[in-house]
A and B are shown apart, each in its own frame.
Chain A
């Protein structure tokens, strides 16, 4: 009869491991998080219990440890093992410190493509461009690992002019709010001034992409100081007004997308010096007259004409005053006499009607006749299915002999079947076309540029292009609001300012971007091979090996 030793249900070594691990967990919790003391006590209890269990189940090992035998021999082994593990950790930490990374994707997903690299290098070498910081609002380490490679490339390519940091939006909600971050994964780019971020210059990118990040860095670094002053006039549109007849949406877009500073001002603000329309610090200033149903008095008009004569830039949107024998601000004789004399163009007191191209009313004309070369309208001229929708528009006219130093461009014209009628005729409810009515197309938006003093002026026949109601149609191809802010951008010199900037860097198309497409035959073959051919082939091979071995065993 043999005295076989029965194997315990739980291997004692497991209890030893569990005991040591639990005690280590207990110590870690106790030192790092005093709030979870209960958890530490539980872990300690489990640890002690496991060690006691190990002592009972493996009395030989326990007595070996107690007598010091295990410590003498096993202890050396344990010590060597610990030394090796520490050495391995040290090697890992050393290599980690080297920060060696490589993007091997053919699509260059995590490094700058050549076009972006050139731009960032040029930015880095330009001493006039300020440094920028990229703040990546990530709450997971995996995203940080991936983005680090690209951000490092930005830093190195820009010669350390670009810096970056990761911010956990969950842990730092205040910072996230400052940069208007709405979700994790967004990236903010901000200009550094005296080493501190200027929050007003911050722009946001929604996801990690070399192209959008490059464009944003360049835009933030080159951000100009552009200002739009909107004159407060009687019944004119207001940038604070959020109703359909206000222009709050226009204001929001021009401030958020183009970083303009906007302000409603009165003539008094200009004369009192509260607002300096000729501030040399600004990169561009535009004075906007947003409609107005009453003529400006001569004194106020002089303030504006002095500004324009001094090379100032302005945009005038005409309003309609349907009261008989009254003029609107834009059609008033005092303003038009000046416009005709200095710029060779003026508003008329007639409105355009069109019985072919209209929207529900003869006065609500629709047109897609844009100048294809002017910066204000070139985008619309090259785009299909876009048009302007006027509520009612004054016509504009050129003087017979315009000043030689002024370049005039008709930005928008009415349709070829349009005709015009005076306000007085329309007031008499006479809208039908008669033979004596002037026939279109009529200019309804004109750009003038004085080449002597550099003044730029845009005249637009209708102020409804600015209002919030117009912006609601923008998704359906109505470009009223787009044309409105383009007039301000051009007059302020915004386009030229950014002309030399690398705008619109786009991702180069690569073969790897091709979608997965397969014929039915190809799909059938793939299905067959992957679900039947390969696995059952392996099974068959295994069966063959088993059969051969079985035969060999039988033979032997």
Chain B
């Protein structure tokens, strides 16, 4: 545990000392801020007209999911940026071999790095709670739905970071790791489309459901984002993290064995 914490502290310190981490957070918050203020402005304008024409108004519950939805989509770019250097850099600079000579096992090393990356993402996610607070000043958002939205976005982020870490362990090239990580996350994001395509084909009935269940969106967009907690969704994300970290550990072990 001490080793995990030591690796975690070292990595987290790196994030907060690195201007790139702030630049990523700045770009993300600027984009999300523009989206939020734009959608609030539009909603207020629409509601003023809706009062006159007796239309159904836009409520805070409809708006509350906008920012987390975009955030989890952008994770296909952000997560690889966060994780690309985690192991690839150690490999390239040859520090991995040195670290592996220390009295610690690979899993502690990987978990520590993962937790640091996840903490960085968690801080960004917590920053977006400011939009919930702002929304609360002008309307009444559904607190239960907000809880599941953020819980889901947090777990989703953890899973995506863990998956992206695999590629950082596979290759020494950070750009290649980022590219492959982005591609993997995007594929996992778009499985819903694959499932829809499969449902239109005359292949086995369960194939469509199987493809869909592999993907990330089926476990977030149709349930947690709407205010529904399903045990299988929570377990999916946790298992995704566990599985990805296990594979990453195996890859690091293989490298050590090769060396």
Asked whether, in the complex, the Cβ of A535 is within 8 Å of the Cβ of B26, the reply is: yes
Asked whether, in the complex, the Cβ of B223 is within 8 Å of the Cβ of A140, the reply is: no
Given A14-B180, A545-B16, A545-B19: A538 touches B47 (CB 8 Å cut-off): no
Asked whether, in the complex, the Cβ of B19 is within 8 Å of the Cβ of A542, the reply is: yes
Q: Which residues of B contact A33 (CB under 8 A)?
A: 201-203
Given A88-B243, A91-B239, A542-B23: A518 touches B40 (CB 8 Å cut-off): yes
Q: How many A-B residue pairs have CB under 8 A?
A: 209
Interface residues of A in 49-99 (CB under 8 A from B): 73-74, 77, 80-81, 84-85, 88, 91-92, 95-96, 98
Q: Which residues of B contact A168 (CB under 8 A)?
A: 199
Nearest B residue (CB) for A64: B258
Nearest B residue (CB) for A93: B232
How near does chain B come to A84, taking the closest CB pair, in angstroms?
A: 5
Asked whether, in the complex, the Cβ of A515 is within 8 Å of the Cβ of B58, the reply is: yes
Asked whether, in the complex, the Cβ of A142 is within 8 Å of the Cβ of B221, the reply is: yes
Asked whether, in the complex, the Cβ of A530 is within 8 Å of the Cβ of B134, the reply is: yes
Q: Which residues of A contact B250 (CB under 8 A)?
A: 77, 80-81
Q: Is B70 an interface residue (CB 8 A)?
A: no
Asked whether, in the complex, the Cβ of A145 is within 8 Å of the Cβ of B37, the reply is: no
Asked whether, in the complex, the Cβ of B142 is within 8 Å of the Cβ of A105, the reply is: yes
Q: Is B140 an interface residue (CB 8 A)?
A: yes
Given A104-B148, A105-B227, A530-B36: A514 touches B139 (CB 8 Å cut-off): yes
Spot the interface stretch: A106-114, A156-164, A361-369, A381-389. Answer: A106-114
Spot the interface stretch: B4-12, B110-118, B169-177. Answer: B169-177
Asked whether, in the complex, the Cβ of A101 is within 8 Å of the Cβ of B16, the reply is: no
Nearest A residue (CB) for B253: A77
How near does chain A come to B50, taking the closest CB pair, in angstroms?
A: 7
Taken together as a complex, chains A and B put the C-alpha atoms of A105 and B143 apart, in Å, by 7
Nearest B residue (CB) for A111: B228
Nearest B residue (CB) for A104: B144
Nearest B residue (CB) for A109: B227
Taken together as a complex, chains A and B put the C-alpha atoms of A543 and B221 apart, in Å, by 36
Taken together as a complex, chains A and B put the C-alpha atoms of A542 and B27 apart, in Å, by 12
Taken together as a complex, chains A and B put the C-alpha atoms of A527 and B131 apart, in Å, by 11
How near does chain A come to B138, taking the closest CB pair, in angstroms?
A: 4
How near does chain A come to B71, taking the closest CB pair, in angstroms?
A: 14
Interface size class of A (residues with CB under 8 A): 35 or more
Given A512-B141, A535-B29: A526 touches B40 (CB 8 Å cut-off): yes
Spot the interface stretch: B77-85, B154-162, B204-212. Answer: B204-212
Asked whether, in the complex, the Cβ of A512 is within 8 Å of the Cβ of B60, the reply is: yes
Interface residues of A in 532-556 (CB under 8 A from B): 532, 534-536, 538-539, 541-543, 545-546, 549
Interface residues of B in 121-164 (CB under 8 A from A): 127, 130-131, 134-135, 137-145, 147-148
Asked whether, in the complex, the Cβ of B218 is within 8 Å of the Cβ of A141, the reply is: yes
Q: Which residues of B contact A514 (CB under 8 A)?
A: 59-60, 139-140
Q: Which residues of B contact A512 (CB under 8 A)?
A: 59-61, 140-142
Given A77-B253, A105-B145, A146-B223: A516 touches B43 (CB 8 Å cut-off): yes
Taken together as a complex, chains A and B put the C-alpha atoms of A100 and B223 apart, in Å, by 12
Asked whether, in the complex, the Cβ of A516 is within 8 Å of the Cβ of B142, the reply is: no
Q: Per a CB cutoff under 8 Å, which of B139, B209, B232 touches A515?
A: B139
Q: Which residues of A contact B186 (CB under 8 A)?
A: none
Given A32-B203, A534-B33: A146 touches B226 (CB 8 Å cut-off): yes
Taken together as a complex, chains A and B put the C-alpha atoms of A532 and B33 apart, in Å, by 8
Interface string of A245-256 (1 = CB under 8 A from B): 000000000000
Taken together as a complex, chains A and B put the C-alpha atoms of A106 and B60 apart, in Å, by 13
Q: Which residues of A contact B131 (CB under 8 A)?
A: 530
Q: Which residues of A contact B36 (CB under 8 A)?
A: 526, 530
Asked whether, in the complex, the Cβ of B23 is within 8 Å of the Cβ of A539, the reply is: yes
Given A514-B140, A535-B29, A549-B17: A77 touches B22 (CB 8 Å cut-off): no
Asked whether, in the complex, the Cβ of A35 is within 8 Å of the Cβ of B60, the reply is: no
Helix, strand, loop or mixed for chain B's interface? helix
Given A14-B180, A77-B250, A141-B222: A107 touches B61 (CB 8 Å cut-off): yes
Nearest A residue (CB) for B61: A512
Q: Is A522 an interface residue (CB 8 A)?
A: yes
Taken together as a complex, chains A and B put the C-alpha atoms of A85 and B173 apart, in Å, by 27
Helix, strand, loop or mixed for chain A's interface? helix
Given A11-B173, A146-B223, A538-B25: A103 touches B134 (CB 8 Å cut-off): no
Asked whether, in the complex, the Cβ of B180 is within 8 Å of the Cβ of A103, the reply is: no
Asked whether, in the complex, the Cβ of B140 is within 8 Å of the Cβ of A531, the reply is: no
Q: Is B57 an interface residue (CB 8 A)?
A: yes
Q: Is A511 an interface residue (CB 8 A)?
A: yes
Interface residues of A in 351-386 (CB under 8 A from B): none
Q: Is A523 an interface residue (CB 8 A)?
A: yes
Nearest B residue (CB) for A141: B212
Interface residues of A in 123-142 (CB under 8 A from B): 140-142
Asked whether, in the complex, the Cβ of B138 is within 8 Å of the Cβ of A517, the reply is: yes
Taken together as a complex, chains A and B put the C-alpha atoms of A527 and B145 apart, in Å, by 24
Q: Which residues of A contact B142 (CB under 8 A)?
A: 105-107, 512
Q: Which residues of A contact B230 (CB under 8 A)?
A: 100-102, 145
Given A35-B202, A523-B41, A530-B33: A515 touches B228 (CB 8 Å cut-off): no
Given A514-B59, A518-B138: A106 touches B144 (CB 8 Å cut-off): yes
Q: Is B98 an interface residue (CB 8 A)?
A: no
Asked whether, in the complex, the Cβ of A526 is within 8 Å of the Cβ of B59, the reply is: no
Q: Which residues of A contact B144 (CB under 8 A)?
A: 104-106
Q: Which residues of A contact B145 (CB under 8 A)?
A: 104-107, 109
Q: Is B190 an interface residue (CB 8 A)?
A: no
How near does chain B come to A551, taking the closest CB pair, in angstroms?
A: 13
Top 9 closest pairs, chain A to chain B, by CB: A542-B22, A515-B57, A530-B33, A142-B222, A105-B227, A100-B231, A535-B30, A104-B144, A96-B232
Interface residues of A (CB under 8 A from B): 7, 11, 13-14, 32-33, 35, 73-74, 77, 80-81, 84-85, 88, 91-92, 95-96, 98, 100-107, 109-110, 140-143, 145-146, 149, 168, 511-518, 522-523, 526-527, 529-532, 534-536, 538-539, 541-543, 545-546, 549
Interface residues of B (CB under 8 A from A): 16-17, 19, 21-23, 25-27, 29-30, 32-34, 36-37, 40-41, 43-44, 47-48, 50-51, 57-61, 63, 127, 130-131, 134-135, 137-145, 147-148, 170-171, 173, 176, 180, 192, 195-196, 199, 201-204, 207-209, 212, 218, 221-223, 226-232, 235-236, 239, 242-243, 246-247, 250, 253-254, 257
A-B contact pairs, 12 of them (CB 8 A): A32-B204, A102-B229, A104-B145, A141-B209, A146-B228, A512-B59, A515-B51, A526-B138, A530-B33, A534-B29, A543-B19, A549-B17
Instruction: Add 15 more A-B contacts to A95-B235, A102-B229 (CB < 8 A).
Output: A11-B176, A92-B235, A96-B235, A98-B231, A107-B142, A141-B222, A515-B50, A515-B51, A515-B59, A530-B34, A530-B36, A530-B131, A534-B33, A535-B29, A535-B30
